[in-house]
Amino acid sequence: MDHNSATDRNSAFSAGQPHTELADWVLYNSFILDSGATTHICHDRSRFRNFYPQSDTLLAGGGPVSIKGWGDADIQVQGDKGTSRI
């Protein structure tokens, strides 16, 4: 896998969060899975298995979002047959 490309389809990005009031949001520590998305954003750097620092900007939610880096993050999901990591 080429870890030099910020557009790697299997990567997640770490984004800086400008609004501290979002920490009170009930889904703050959740991932919202979208099978049609090619970019996935995580606000918690500790969830990354590996992390490659990079200053860049992505377009998300109708505007630019500053990212701190990219890497691979595991996500636990609860299904009919128990918990799985994806």
Tens of each residue's pLDDT in the chain, 86 residues? 444 444 444 555 555 555 556 667 777 778 877 888 888 888 888 889 999 999 999 888 788 989 999 999 888 888 898 988 87
- Rounded CA-CA distance 63/41 in Å is 14
CA distances from 3 to 20, 54, 73, 76 (A): 31, 12, 14, 23
Residues forming a β-bridge with 28: none
Count of CA atoms in the C-beta half-sphere (13 A) of 64: 4
Task: Please give the pLDDT value at position 23.
Answer: 62
- Looking at residue 2, what is its pLDDT? 43
